[in-house]
Structure 1
Amino acid sequence: MRMRSRLRILPVLTALVAVAVALPALSQSSARPEGAAAAATGRGRVPVPRPEATEVVLAVHGGAGTALRREDTDARTEKAYRDGLADALRAGRKVLRDGGSSVAAVEAAVRSLEDNPLFNAGKGAVFTEDAGHELDASVMRGSDLAAGAVAGVRHVRNPVSAARLVMERTPHVLLAGEGADAFAVRNGLPAVTQDYYWTQARWDSLMKAKEQSRSGTSPSASRQIVGGQAVGESAMGTVGAVAVDGKHDLAAATSTGGMTNKMAGRVGDSPLVGAGTYAKNGTVAASATGHGEVFIRGAATSTLSHLVEFGGRDVAAAAHEVVHERLARLGGTGGVIALAPDGTLAAPHSSEGMLYGYLTADGKLVTKVFPDETRTGR
């Protein structure tokens, strides 16, 4: 009888041991990110985010917001936007081909976009509520986390260059207003009057925004901030660039005129390290565009880097989580370009559209201006 009891107990003990062995594996499986679990089971609701491209050395964006649509965009307009992105990529490419740093490459790329009136930065900056222009920009170097930024400048032709000077010639990270303008002039940057930034398209946007405000049909704040234009217009907003150079150093830069009809003195995410711009060797270089207040509250670009460094995400998964999950929960839309040290590029956006382009190590240059050209949008 005693022997039979032992024989009955043995299968039970064996089953208990099997369960005990399986529990750690089950626990690890349940702790996986949603995308990883979907890949493992093939039944997840959210597909595993895929990178935009590989072997990328430089990428730029021209803002996220209302989209250019094929059905109502003529060939001339399409070409103008593609040429604007391509010119910025070529400016950065020249720097990298000559052995320049990733910092110099992103500065050159963003300067090109600042000089193009199609984009909401520099020459094409939008108007504030008092019909003025206040511009913001930032630069970050991945090798040592050095950064520089300017906010609310009114007389700097290329704010991104002023931001780089703050990084390299001061002990500070951010200078604002008159002090930033004066610093730029003292360090040799050309000064311009406010009418330099004026364009008819931006003036018309301001008039539309004020009329909508008076009539009580003003678009939602998020639409104004993201697009930098009144509803129904296709021009985009904030510009930015990310790069990796021959020394494998990362860098990022972002520049903007802000939002149409914004309060005087308003500062968004573009000049704020960890919100609109971030670069750290070993993780990512990222430049954001979108609902600035939400990108600040969500620490968008530093969170992306932390997900790579501490969360074990790849760049595509980290960028997707920030744009489509974390910022979405806070009520914001927009996009980001995120470049890993190995050249993997992610470019997700939750807004209707995002203008961007990239350059690969073998010289391939790609621009994307229509929503159906992007794989990581909505």
Structure 2
Amino acid sequence: MRVRPRLWIVPVLTVLVAVAAALPAFSRPGSGEAHRVGAMAPTKVADARRPVARDVVLAVHGGAGTALRRGTTDPRKEKAYRDGLADALKAGRRVLRDGGDSVAAVEAAVRVLEDNELFNAGRGAVFTEDAGHELDASIMRGSDLAAGAVAGVRSVRNPVSAARLVMEKTKHVMLAGEGADDFAARNGLPTVTQDYYWTQRRWDELVKAKAPTKDPRAEKATKGGGKGTGAAEEEITGTVGAVAVDRDRDLAAATSTGGMTNKMAGRVGDSPVVGAGTYAKNGTVAASATGHGEVFIRGAATATISHLIEFGGRDVASAAYEVVVGRLPRLGGTGGVIALDHEGTFAAPHSSEGMVYGYLTEDGDIVTRLFPDETSSDG
């Protein structure tokens, strides 16, 4: 029997071949839904260069590092972080509402964070390699570029207040070690013994940092040159800082830290270094940094932000982004910065996975941000 050809097969096969040829195009960037998803990345980069908020009068940070995750962070821990940041902002708000200046506001905010053992400053400072505590802090006034700092103090309850005393009562910018401790005590600041700074969390971090490891990446992190590396960067470094602008549009900034877990005795990071961890200049920026300290020193991080604004015509958000995200990672370190200009424009870029911070607006609103999905731009 003669079998008739099935002529319908030819056009059907033609259609199938055409469909098969077209299918890879749907999975290639630049077509269909994949194109729209791919286009989101540049949008996020653009947002990161924009201000976080406007009309801000005070902002604080609690460190940068590996991000806290919304799905895995215990609700009690989340509340503790948010409350800690909010309490600091409320302290600064009281100062500003009572007519205090920006210097007093950042000092008040940082003192609250230093007294909170959740953060790596004051009460919750990390341990050095010899199981001690050495704290650093600085403060700067934007109206006249006055600054004060202390490094390696071991008995001052609130190093940021000691830094302010150096600024206002001496002809120097930085005092270190025993001399700084003695100076603070002579001027009436509360002193403490080393066990005041002790917390179980920081002790466990030291033990972990000293534990032998066969992972060269972990060993490099533990021995790395920045504050907050190694065990302490399992979440965030905890270094704290504040920036503010007052009714006279004067800027100020302050930063305080316990340094990095298992650091060499005598090591000083960027927090007390003017132009690295802290900087304030009227007309440009008030900035406080957190991250790999040695890199922020080598990159003159906060001063560079100011220079980009003053001499490069940049706005505060793009200048801060260029330094923290564009330049410092090429030097081998990451971190973040809070930056505020005299008009209340606020930026908080970070090249680390996460950074915790909060801010206060002119209307008295307090906003805290912990998780990566909270760090997109509002402004």
TM bin, normalised by shorter chain, reads 0.7 to 0.9
Q: CA distance change for structure 1 residues 228 and 160 in 2, over 3 Å: closer, same or farther?
A: farther
Give 1:233 shift.
3.1
Q: CA distance change for structure 1 residues 273 and 224 in 2, over 3 Å: closer, same or farther?
A: closer
Q: For 1:261-340, list aligned pairs within 5 A.
A: 261-340=262-341
Contact 2:236 2:355 in 1 (8 A): no
Aligned match of 1:21: none
Q: CA distance change for structure 1 residues 44 and 89 in 2, over 3 Å: closer, same or farther?
A: closer
Aligned match of 2:235: 234
SS of the residue aligned with 1:72? coil
Aligned match of 2:258: 257
**Letter of the aligned partner of 1:276 in structure 2?**
G
Aligned match of 2:187: 187
Give 1:255 shift.
0.2
Contact 2:225 2:293 in 1 (8 A): no
Contact 2:157 2:192 in 1 (8 A): yes
Q: CA distance change for structure 1 residues 47 and 214 in 2, over 3 Å: closer, same or farther?
A: closer
**Letter of the aligned partner of 1:243 in structure 2?**
A
Aligned match of 2:356: 355
Looking at structure 2, the residues matched to 51 and 342 of structure 1 have their Cα atoms a distance apart, in angstroms, of 12
- Give a deviation string over 1:5-33, Cα, whole Å, max 9, x none: xxxxxxxxxxxxxxxxxxxxxxxxxxxxx
Aligned match of 1:116: 116
Give 1:174 shift.
0.2
User: Percent of counterpart pairs with the same letter?
Assistant: 77
RMSD: 1.9
**Letter of the aligned partner of 1:154 in structure 2?**
R
**Letter of the aligned partner of 1:118 in structure 2?**
L
Q: Larger Rg: 1 or 2?
A: 2
Looking at structure 1, the residues matched to 274 and 300 of structure 2 have their Cα atoms a distance apart, in angstroms, of 9
Structure 2: where are the runs of 5+ without partners? 1-41
**Letter of the aligned partner of 1:143 in structure 2?**
S
Contact 2:110 2:242 in 1 (8 A): yes
Aligned match of 1:94: 94
Q: For 1:204-215, list aligned pairs within 5 A.
A: 204-212=204-212
TM-score by length of 1: 0.85
Which region of structure 1 is more displaced relative to structure 2, 231-240 or 266-275?
231-240
Contact 2:277 2:302 in 1 (8 A): yes
**Letter of the aligned partner of 1:87 in structure 2?**
D
Q: CA distance change for structure 1 residues 186 and 370 in 2, over 3 Å: closer, same or farther?
A: same
SS of the residue aligned with 1:113? helix
Looking at structure 2, the residues matched to 163 and 316 of structure 1 have their Cα atoms a distance apart, in angstroms, of 27
- Give a deviation string over 1:86-112, Cα, whole Å, max 9, x none: 000000000000000100000000000
Contact 2:223 2:230 in 1 (8 A): no
Does residue 243 of the first structure (1) align with residue 244 of the second (2)? yes
Aligned match of 1:54: 54
Paired residues in the alignment total: 334
Looking at structure 2, the residues matched to 348 and 235 of structure 1 have their Cα atoms a distance apart, in angstroms, of 15
- Give a deviation string over 1:100-130, Cα, whole Å, max 9, x none: 0100000000000000000000000000000
